Amino acid sequence: MMFTARFANPKLKSGELLAVPICLWTPRWPVKYETTKPLRSLAPKQSYIRAPREEYTKLYLDGLAALGVDYIHCLFEALPQERPVALLCYEDLRKPELWCHRRLFADWWLSETGEEIPELKEEPLQAPMF
């Protein structure tokens, strides 16, 4: 089983998931769990990381297509297999205005393989108290 999640998802602290960064940079703050070496080939490229969403999406998906399902499957096969995997980046997708490449990857993977990669659930954001 595989999930996507943000580095700050509290469920990662349990150690029940294999935490696999798929971003260019890993957190500069100490996370409370172990991570594997980043799978940077699944990260967006620095050349378009600040591009408008439409351009970013196209370039990112083109990059995944160039890698191909077989290559990416080999990346996953090389990971330790004792626990479910969580593919990590930074964005807090509980905020409706945010989006990220981890979900672009999950959607692409579903369309290419039929395998769903759900987002690891989190508690909803609390409304501010006034």
Using DSSP's 3-state secondary structure scheme, residue 18 falls into strand
Q: Beta partners for 86? A: 3, 19
Would you give the distance in Å from CA 82 to the centre of its chain? 19
Largest CA distance in the chain: 52
What's this model's pTM, rounded to 2 decimal places? 0.92
Residue-wise pLDDT tens digits, 49-91 = 999 999 999 999 999 999 999 999 999 999 998 899 999 999 9
How do the domains of the chain map onto residue ranges? 2-113
Residue-wise pLDDT tens digits, 100-118 = 999 999 999 999 999 999 9
Contact between 102 and 95 under an 8 Å Cβ cutoff? The reply is no
